[in-house]
Each structure stands twice: as structure tokens, then as C-alpha cells.
Amino acid sequence: MKKQLQDLVLDFKNYAFVLLALGTFFYIGVFVESGQVSEQSTMMGASAFMLAGAIICFNISLSFNKKLQKEAE
């Protein structure tokens, strides 16, 4: 059980970092000259969605880490 919790903590941290990286690329894409407002809105929405997903993954990772700490005691 301990190994599974450690794997889940690591997996969700990795998911969060990937989502942060993707969100950053979408955010940078907003500043590239595109000229279309709808395209910029889409990129800002995708960036916000990725950031929200990263926050959720970090929270899930934290909850599994707390379970792991309780199990260690």
C-alpha cells in the first residue's frame, strides 16, 4: 500500500508539472501576434483550464501524501 501511495503522489505531481508547462505555452501564445481576438480568447481559456487542472493535481497529490504520512505513523 505504501508503494502505491508513493507512486500516486509522484504521478499526480508529474501531471501537475506537465499541465503547468502546457498552460505556460498557451499563455505565451497569447502574446504572439495573431490578430484574431477569438484565437487569443481560446488560448487564454486553455491556459486557465491547464492551471486549474494543475492546481487540482497538486491538491490530489497532497492528499495522497497526507495519507502516506498517516500510514507511516
| Structural domain containing residue 55 | 2-72
Cα 72 to Cα 39: distance, rounded to the nearest angstrom: 49
Supply the pLDDT for residue 37. 75
Name the amino acid, one letter, at 7: D
Q: Is 1 helix (H, G, I), strand (E, B) or coil?
A: coil
Supply the pLDDT for residue 36. 73
Domain count, the chain: 1
Cα 44 to Cα 50: distance, rounded to the nearest angstrom: 10
How confident is the model over 16-70, as pLDDT tens digits?
Answer: 999 999 999 988 888 886 667 777 888 899 999 999 999 999 999 999 999 999 9
